[in-house]
Structure 1
C-alpha cells in the first residue's frame, strides 16, 4: 500500500531577523513601586477580578487582561465573549526580568535586535488624568531605559508619551526620552487631546525630528472603541473595522501637512498590519490629483510621496501587505514578532519573495530606520 505523503513544513527564513515590533511584559507592580506615594492608589495596578487578572487605573473601568484587545470592546454593544476565554493571569515573562535575560532570549530566538513596545504601558494612555498619565509615562520610560542599557544596539526602546498632557509636557517627555538614549516614542491612535493634524503638534514633531526619534503610532488598547455597531453581525463589524483606526492618523499627518513641514520626521503605524495601506495610498493620491487646487494646506507632492519618504508599517503574517508591497513600498514594511512572539509563518511568507525584498522586510528596513548594525 502506498504511504500517504507527509505534508512539507515551510522552511525557516535563513536571513538576518530584526523584530521591529516586540513587546515587553513590565513588572505588574512597576507603578506601585515607582510612582510618588500620593499617586499610587490612583495609578496602574494589576488586580484579580471575576475573569482573572485585570488592569486598573483611576477613571477607567477595569480591563480583563485575558481578552485580546478588540474583544474588550464587545461588552459595550451587548456581546459577552468572556465564557470562551480562560481567566487571564498576568505574569512578567522570564526574559523580561532584565536586559541581560532579554539578550539571551534574543540569541536563542535567532534575532539580531528588537524594537521594544510596552504591554501594560499601552493601557496607561486610557487614563483621563493628564498629570497621572505624565507621571506613569515617566516611570515606564525610566524603567525601559535601564532595561535597554544592557545593550542599546540590540534593545531599541520606544518611550511612552502622555498624549493627554499639555504640549509643553509632551515635548518635555520627548526631550527626556532622547536624553535617556531611547530609540523612539509611542503615541496612541486615540486619546490625544489635540487631533494630530493640528499645528499645535508641530512642537512635538520638531522635537522628534531634532532628536531623530522615530514616532510610532500604536493601534492601542481600545481598538474599536470609536465604533458602536448594532444588529446582525455587530461583533464582526466592530472587530474588523477597528483595525483601520490607524488610517485616521495617516490621513492627519499627511493632509494636515505635518509630514511636509517636518521632512525629517519618521512615523510608523504599529498594530494593524499593512494590507489595507495600498488602497488608502492610491485613494489619497487620487483626491490630491483631482482636487489639489482647493485643498488646504497645499501639499507640494502627492500624499504617497510623504508616505514613501517618511512612513513605515509593521507586519507579521500579512499576505495582503506583502502582495501589495509595490504600492505600499517594500522599503516601508518592517517585520515584527508581535505580542505572541511567534515566527512560525515567517519562513513561508518571506521565502516566497525575491531575496532583496525578503532581506529588506526581515531586517534591512529596521536596521536603517533605527540605526542597527547588521
Structure 2
C-alpha cells in the first residue's frame, strides 16, 4: 500500500498502464456464445494426457494422448483438427525462473489472475499496475486460430464471440475500467475485418490485434491494397493496430534444432522487419491517422533501424521502389505513427532521445515467463531513475492514455 509520503513524493513511480499483458480465456467463452449447433464443434476444453511436446526452431508441436494413455494431464483446447494444451509458459508468474518448464497444466495449476477478473485486479495491485491491455491465448496473438480454421462461418462467429467476451465480460463492470479491450478481426477478409473494427469501435474499443508479418500466415503484405478497407476503418475510428511478437505464427530462430533460448534472445526481429515494411509501404501517407504499436518488441533496436531507413530513403529511393509513395524520411513517419513497447530495456532507455519520448509504452507481460510481475515498479525505477519525472510519467502512463483514448485517470470508459 502506498503511503501518504510516497504519493506526495515528486519521484514516486507512476501507476503503470501496461499495454501488453495476456488473458487465458476461461473454458466457457465460446460454449456460452456460439449458436447451439456449433457448440460441439466450436472451441472447447477437454482434459487429456500429453503424448509428446517439442519447441524447437521456433515451432511448438504438442501431441495429445488418448484417454487412459500414460503422460502428464493437462487441459486442452480442441477446435476442428487443433489440439492446443495450456502450458506453464502461458501462465508462469509466481514460479521461480528455474521451475518454469514447457509442460502441460490444468486451470487449477495456473494463477487464478490469468483468467479471473477480480483475481487479475488483485495481482495488478500487487504489481503497481492500474490498467492493462490484454492479448489472447487460445486464439493466438492476432486470431490466427480462427484464420486457419476450415469453416469460415464458424470462424467468424468465433472471432465475434471472443470480442463480445472481451468487451462485455473481461473488460465489463467487474474490471472497473482497469482492463482495456483489445479485439480480433477475421483476417481472411479485409471487408469483414473493417466491419468488425467499426462494430467494436462503436462500443468504445480503440485497439485491434494484427499480424506483424501477414505473408507468414499466407495473407497479403501491407505493401498492396488488399488491407485498405481494414486500414481505413482503423484510421477513421482511431483504432490502434497492435502487433505482438509471434503474431505471424513464426518466432525468429536460426535453425530447426536451435533451442528456444535462441529465439527468445532475438524476439524483436519480426518487429524490426515489420516496422520497415510499414515505413516503406506508403500507408501512413494514405491513412494519416493510423497508429501502430509493437507489443513485447522492446525498443533498443529502433534507433539504428530508423537511421538506416533514412539513409536508404535518401540515397536509394529512386531505384528502391518507394519514391512515389514514401514522401519524407521514414523516421518522420515513425514519430507520428509508431509505438515501441518494452518491459525490460535499459539500453533503449539510455537512447530514448533517438527513439522519441512520445513513441514509447510500458508493459509487464503478465502472466508470461518473461513478466516482471510482481516487481514491475522496481524494474522501472531502476531503469528510469536517470529520467525526469515528467518523462517517466509519459512512458509509464500518459502515452498510453493518449493513444488508447483512456480517461485522464487512465481508465477505459467504454462507449
**TM-score bracket, shorter-length normalisation:** 0.7 to 0.9
CA deviation after TM superposition for structure 1 residue 86, in Å:
4.2
CA distance in 2, matches of 1:125, 1:329: 32
For each residue in 1:299-331, what CA deviation from the matched residue of structure 2 results, as whole angstroms up to 9, or x when unmatched?
A: 111111111111102110112221222222121
Q: Give the alignment's TM-score, normalised by structure 2.
A: 0.74
1:152 and 1:122, CA in 2 relative to 1: closer, same or farther beyond 3 A?
Answer: farther
The equivalent of 1:29 in structure 2 is 28
1:43 and 1:193, CA in 2 relative to 1: closer, same or farther beyond 3 A?
Answer: farther
For each residue in 1:58-77, what CA deviation from the matched residue of structure 2 results, as whole angstroms up to 9, or x when unmatched?
A: 244x33432548xxxxxxxx
* Among candidates 123, 133, 158, match of residue 115 of structure 1: 133
CA deviation after TM superposition for structure 1 residue 362, in Å:
0.9
Greater helix percent: which structure? 1
* Among candidates 63, 68, 72, match of residue 84 of structure 2: 63
CA deviation after TM superposition for structure 1 residue 162, in Å:
2.0
Give the secondary structure class of the aligned counterpart of 2:31. helix
RMSD: 3.0
The equivalent of 2:104 in structure 1 is 87
Superposed, 1:231-246 pairs within 5 Å as 236-246=261-271
CA distance in 2, matches of 1:155, 1:234: 35
Asked whether 1:332 is paired with 2:359, we answer: yes
Asked whether 1:160 is paired with 2:184, we answer: yes
For each residue in 1:217-257, what CA deviation from the matched residue of structure 2 results, as whole angstroms up to 9, or x when unmatched?
A: 122366545756156x5655444344311223212222111
CA deviation after TM superposition for structure 1 residue 143, in Å:
0.7
* Among candidates 112, 130, 136, match of residue 158 of structure 2: 136
CA distance in 1, matches of 2:81, 2:303: 38
**Range that drifts further, 249-258 or 98-107:** 98-107
Superposed, 1:93-104 pairs within 5 Å as 94-95=112-113, 102-103=120-121
CA distance in 2, matches of 1:110, 1:37: 42
Paired residues of 1:254 and 1:260 also in contact (CA < 8 A): no
* Among candidates 333, 338, 341, match of residue 314 of structure 1: 341
Any unmatched runs of 5+ in structure 1?
1-11, 70-81
Paired residues of 1:224 and 1:242 also in contact (CA < 8 A): no
Paired residues of 1:32 and 1:44 also in contact (CA < 8 A): yes
The equivalent of 1:348 in structure 2 is 382
Asked whether 1:200 is paired with 2:226, we answer: yes
CA deviation after TM superposition for structure 1 residue 54, in Å:
3.5
CA distance in 1, matches of 2:145, 2:84: 11
CA deviation after TM superposition for structure 1 residue 181, in Å:
1.8
CA distance in 2, matches of 1:221, 1:63: 16
1:155 and 1:225, CA in 2 relative to 1: closer, same or farther beyond 3 A?
Answer: closer
* Among candidates 317, 327, 330, match of residue 292 of structure 1: 317
1:56 and 1:284, CA in 2 relative to 1: closer, same or farther beyond 3 A?
Answer: farther
CA deviation after TM superposition for structure 1 residue 157, in Å:
0.6
The equivalent of 1:20 in structure 2 is 19
CA deviation after TM superposition for structure 1 residue 214, in Å:
1.2
Paired residues of 1:331 and 1:365 also in contact (CA < 8 A): yes
CA deviation after TM superposition for structure 1 residue 186, in Å:
0.7
CA distance in 1, matches of 2:397, 2:155: 33
Aligned residue pairs total 348
* Among candidates 274, 284, 289, match of residue 249 of structure 1: 274
Paired residues of 1:224 and 1:239 also in contact (CA < 8 A): no
CA deviation after TM superposition for structure 1 residue 27, in Å:
0.8
Paired residues of 2:294 and 2:340 also in contact (CA < 8 A): yes
Paired residues of 1:32 and 1:40 also in contact (CA < 8 A): yes
CA distance in 2, matches of 1:234, 1:101: 34
The equivalent of 1:260 in structure 2 is 285
Paired residues of 2:243 and 2:294 also in contact (CA < 8 A): yes
Paired residues of 1:224 and 1:241 also in contact (CA < 8 A): no
For each residue in 1:75-101, what CA deviation from the matched residue of structure 2 results, as whole angstroms up to 9, or x when unmatched?
A: xxxxxxx99544323357545766566
CA distance in 1, matches of 2:337, 2:79: 35
Paired residues of 1:31 and 1:139 also in contact (CA < 8 A): yes
The equivalent of 2:199 in structure 1 is 176
